[in-house]
């Protein structure tokens, strides 16, 4: 039996084992997805273990997405642009680090809303999730990207790197919302059931605008968007599609996305 796992600290909350083990079962693949809790001092040894012949691959989660990179033989261009690795693929050339988050974001948008033409987007936040979202936006051909963060300096650095526009947090609603066709909350506020902006602020968005919260469930922001007549999307689709892409990189087989999505939703319901 082949083994796959998620490397991080902690990892007990991960939904990935449910998603991938359902996919392995659906396709009759003799593999099992495990939790691999790994404190930072043990990261090198953990990565070295991925070279064993029974290892099919690995995911990497916080806080190791950047720290893992020096232990790998090659890092893809996408992972370099995002500045983080979330998937490791053993190959004859060694361990390859990739990042499937941008792919997951793009696919979740396409799956939910179909082909959409987006010229202007606003990203709230300047962390790792923001970087993946911005790379996805560039892949989607979005030309105008405004970035706002509660710490302006971090937003400015990110904007400079990706040829985007930094908007001060206090001014983003007035400056950016009226023209934004896509608003992405990539801050951690959704996990704490907090709003990054006021409900009345959302009314400044065009009626055709899409509001995305990268949290894996409905949030106050998404409920407020619906109340304002704007379309909304949580981060669960991104999670599933980034996992599906990793699955395909490990196995060379088409991922059963529907089965993976059902298993994640079932586990979320079980956890309440």
Residue 190 has phi, psi (to 5 degrees) of: -60, -35
Contact 170, 150 (CB under 8 A): no
What's the rounded Cα separation, in Å, for the pair 150 and 171? Answer: 11
In sequence order, which residues have a C-beta less than 8 Å from that of residue 42 and are 6 or more positions away?
none
What's the rounded Cα separation, in Å, for the pair 61 and 114? Answer: 29
What's the rounded Cα separation, in Å, for the pair 151 and 187? Answer: 12
Q: Alpha helices, DSSP H only, in the chain?
A: 16-27, 43-49, 77-82, 101-113, 128-139, 152-161, 172-176, 199-202, 220-227, 236-251, 257-271
Q: Catalytic residue positions?
A: 65
The sign one gets for the Cα dihedral 109, 115, 116, 118 is positive
What's the rounded Cα separation, in Å, for the pair 71 and 110? Answer: 34
CA atoms within 13 A on the CB side of 263: 22
């Amino acid at each position: 039996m082949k083994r796959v796992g998620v490397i991080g600290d902690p990892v007990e909350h991960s939904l990935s084992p449910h998603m991938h083990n359902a996919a392995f079962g659906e396709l009759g693949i003799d593999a099992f997805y495990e939790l691999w809790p790994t404190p930072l001092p043990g990261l090198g040894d953990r990565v070295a273990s991925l070279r064993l012949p029974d290892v099919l691959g690995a995911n990497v989660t916080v806080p190791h997405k950047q720290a893992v990179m020096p232990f790998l033989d090659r890092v893809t261009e996408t992972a370099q642009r995002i500045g983080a690795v979330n998937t490791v693929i053993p190959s004859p050339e060694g361990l390859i680090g990739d990042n499937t988050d941008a792919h997951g974001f793009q696919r979740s948008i396409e799956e939910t809303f179909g082909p959409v033409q987006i010229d202007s987007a606003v990203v709230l936040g300047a962390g790792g999730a923001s970087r993946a979202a911005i790379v996805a936006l560039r892949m989607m051909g979005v030309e105008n990207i405004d970035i706002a963060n509660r710490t302006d300096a971090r937003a400015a650095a990110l904007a400079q790197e990706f040829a985007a526009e930094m908007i001060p947090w206090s001014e983003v609603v007035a400056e950016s919302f009226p023209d934004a066709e896509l608003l992405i909350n990539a801050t951690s506020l959704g996990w704490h059931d907090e709003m990054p902006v006021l409900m009345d602020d959302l009314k400044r968005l065009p009626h055709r605008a899409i509001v995305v919260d990268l949290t894996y469930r409905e949030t106050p922001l998404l409920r407020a968007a619906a109340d304002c007549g704007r379309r909304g999307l949580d981060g669960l689709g991104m999670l599933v599609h980034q996992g599906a892409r990793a699955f395909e990189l490990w196995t060379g087989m088409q991922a059963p996305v529907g089965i993976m999505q059902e298993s994640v939703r079932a586990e979320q319901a079980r956890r309440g």
